[in-house]
Amino acid sequence: MRLSHNLLLTTLVALLALPAAAASVSDLMVHGAWAAPTLPGQTTGVAYVNLHNAQDAPVTLTGLQSPEAKRAEFHTHTMDAHGVMRMEKQPSLTIPAGDMAQMQPGGLHIMLFDLRAPLKEGDTLHLLFSDGSAQLPVDVPVENRRAEGHGAHPMGDKPGDKPHHAH
């Protein structure tokens, strides 16, 4: 009895001491990345990247950088008390095991501030995602997918710009 009890305890301790299954940002799969061209005078850009986590542990993205912009952030859209859609910075982005972070106009997106040059159709934007220990570089083609709709991102460069509703 005493022996099996000790064995059980030893097993439990061994299980608890195991490190959590390691999932890395570098093993995420990237689908359908694109960035919108900027309008004349516009210094903010927007990009969309679908990140699929096929690993058996969640991945939390804590860093986002681009050599083409001074600052890059994850943004979500939320509805405020007056029914107006507003963007909100998300300091980190967690992708559960087996799940996908889907980005699209009006939803989760990547926002680039102080672009060093305008984004033109055919350009390639470079993003670098980080989970604190590993990094994932992603090439994002600049594509004019909004030719039919409004090209401007809800957060305009002019302070008077009103945010508009979801696309």
Residues within the interface to Cu ion (CB under 5 A): 75, 87, 111
Provide, rounded to whole angstroms, the least separation between the CB of residue 66 and Cu ion.
14
- 108: tokens are 């989760």
**3-class state of residue 17 by DSSP:** helix
Residue with Cβ nearer Cu ion (47 or 95):
47
Using CB atoms, what's the residue nearest to Cu ion?
A: 75
* Shortest Cβ 72–Cu ion spacing (Å): 10
At its nearest, how many Å lie between Cu ion and the CB of residue 157? 12
Please write down the HEC assignment for all residues of 58-105.
Answer: CEEECEEECCCEEEEEEEEEEECCCCCEEEEEECCEEECCCCEECCCC
- Provide the minimum distance between the beta carbon of 93 and Cu ion in the complex, in angstroms, as a whole number: 13
Q: Which is nearer to Cu ion, 85 or 128 (CB)?
A: 85
Query: Closer to Cu ion at the Cβ: 75 or 103?
Result: 75
When the beta carbons of 90 and 124 are compared against Cu ion, the nearer one is 90
Round to whole Å and give the CA distance between 166 and 164. Answer: 7
Name the residue among 25, 50, 164 with its Cα closest to residue 104. 50
Q: What Rg, from alpha-carbon coordinates, does the chain have?
A: 21
Q: Which residues lie across from 80 on neighbouring strands? A: none
